Structure 1
């Protein structure tokens, strides 16, 4: 399947073009990149664990070939999709809250105090 692929060399390959910059501090961008890579790895591990659990439940045992050959059915795929969406939502919650705050900032409390005192 992927025999002969040097995964370490591929992981260290530099992409063409510049890295995207989202923050003023390049260290924060690197930390974000590292975090997202870990999120992706955990997501893969969650799916693989789901495969192991489903195979154990169905067969009572398993081997590596069973794991590699496993193809989820429609129901398992939907359950995995929902679990992945929930996981990503939890991971990205802080970012989502920041974006919401930028798009819909709450007025400072003093604005409300002044508004109420004029009524």
Structure 2
């Protein structure tokens, strides 16, 4: 068995999945910032869950140990946390969702055919 002191956290953090990394945005720099933001958001979500565990155990018992925190399981807490996580992620990605909806509704960007038709009308009028 490997000892905890023999584990290199930098090596673990840099492990990569096999295959090409999916890219969702045109600019690789923006894609990287998004990946970092998601990683930070995920970490914050984990911290919030642990804090929630501590608060629940303190409320229940008045004191607690690290083992109690690590082994805490509660179906109601899980459901509440899952709901919080969905809402949290929706807040983080709100701008992307709004942009997507605007594109779908055609508010921000007209269809390419409409732009071409308008340009053609302008060229024939000149």
Same fold (TM over 0.5): yes
Give the corresponding residue for 2:94.
93
**1:83-116, Cα deviation, whole Å (9 max, x unpaired):** 11111111111111011011112279xxxxxxxx
Q: Distance in 2 between matches of 1:68 and 1:11?
A: 22
Give 5+ residue unaligned stretches, structure 1.
Answer: 109-119
Give the corresponding residue for 1:71.
73
Give the corresponding residue for 1:34.
36
CA radius of gyration, larger in? 2
Question: Measured at CA, do residues 3 and 66 of structure 1 come closer, stay the same or move farther in structure 2, by a change above 3 Å?
Answer: farther
**1:25-83, Cα deviation, whole Å (9 max, x unpaired):** 211111111011011101111111100100110011111111011012x2222211211
CA-based RMSD: 2.0
Q: Which has the higher contact order (CA 8 A, sep 6+)?
A: 1
Give 5+ residue unaligned stretches, structure 2.
Answer: 110-126
2:54–2:69 Cα contact (<8 Å) kept: yes
Matched, 1:25 2:52: no
1:24 deviates by: 1.9
Q: Distance in 2 between matches of 1:29 and 1:13?
A: 18
Question: Measured at CA, do residues 55 and 3 of structure 1 come closer, stay the same or move farther in structure 2, by a change above 3 Å?
Answer: farther
Q: Runs ≥4 in structure 1, deviation > 3 angstroms?
A: 2-7
Give the corresponding residue for 1:80.
81
